[in-house]
Amino acid sequence: MSDRIVVITGASSGIGAVVAEELARRGATVVLVARREEALRTVAQRCGPRAQVIVADVTHRDQVKRVVNETIKRVGRIDVWVNNAGQGITRPVSELTGEDIDQMMTVNVKSALYGMQEVLPHFKSRGGGQIVNVSSMLGRIPYVATRSAYNGAKHFLNAITANLREELSSTHPNIMVTLVSPGVVRTDFGLNALHGGPDSRQLPNSQSAEEVAAVMADVIERPRPDVYTRAGWHQRVVDYYQATGADP
């Protein structure tokens, strides 16, 4: 890990911040990206002197392009790009507005799409690299009705992650496209959801951000295409669809 340069979006708090700290502890150079400069610099202090801070809103393509170019200018290259920025929602389908859907798609899908597209030319020129897209168990099984448009956005993210992996498999097999699916994580995610929401730290069957970070660090050290952050969750997905009566 000591020679890896890892860009992490949504790095000012939650999973992104803890992943940055874990990767830095393992020796990586981390580039922290988010909108809140003060929060980013606090995380950077915990990551050590090699951590880089770039303030940007990754829902805007031109700012993502700037992050790519500025990172290469500062540290020479990018080895791993982690699309972690995201936001939840608390609203059932019957109450969704067009604006709700636009917000969920912009934050959870477009930000990741811009990251994938803007870093790809660099990875192709180097002949390798890794994109890590942070999804959710709700992108596998939409079992929380009030997360509605968030569920849909993460299903969309899963699809384009798989599509990009297939697109690159024959022409650029050394570019790994990885999907990570956490469940409920004890962060401010719930409180920061569009229209508010329950505190994720008070929900049952949650896991710590540190547990998720360890899984993500491992999948960067030993790249794989698709991982859950807790054992047994693949079977949970299978059981869910069997219970709905879905055909294999």
What residues are annotated to the active site? 150
What CA–CA distance (Å, rounded) separates 127 from 62? 24
The number of C-alpha atoms within 13 Å of 19 and in the hemisphere containing its C-beta is 37
Over the Cα atoms of the chain, what is R_g?
A: 17
- Run of H or E including 24: helix 14-25
Residues 6+ positions from 65 with CB-CB distance below 8 Å: 114, 118
Q: Are 131 and 164 in contact (CB under 8 A)?
A: yes
Phi, psi torsion values for 52, nearest 5 degrees: -115, 145
DSSP string, 48-117: -TT-EEEE--TTSHHHHHHHHHHHHHHHS--SEEEE-----B---GGG--HHHHHHHHIIIIIHHHHHHH
3-state secondary structure 109-123: HHHHHHHHHHHHHHH
By residue count, the chain amounts to 248
- 169's tokens: 């498999």
What CA–CA distance (Å, rounded) separates 82 from 9? 6
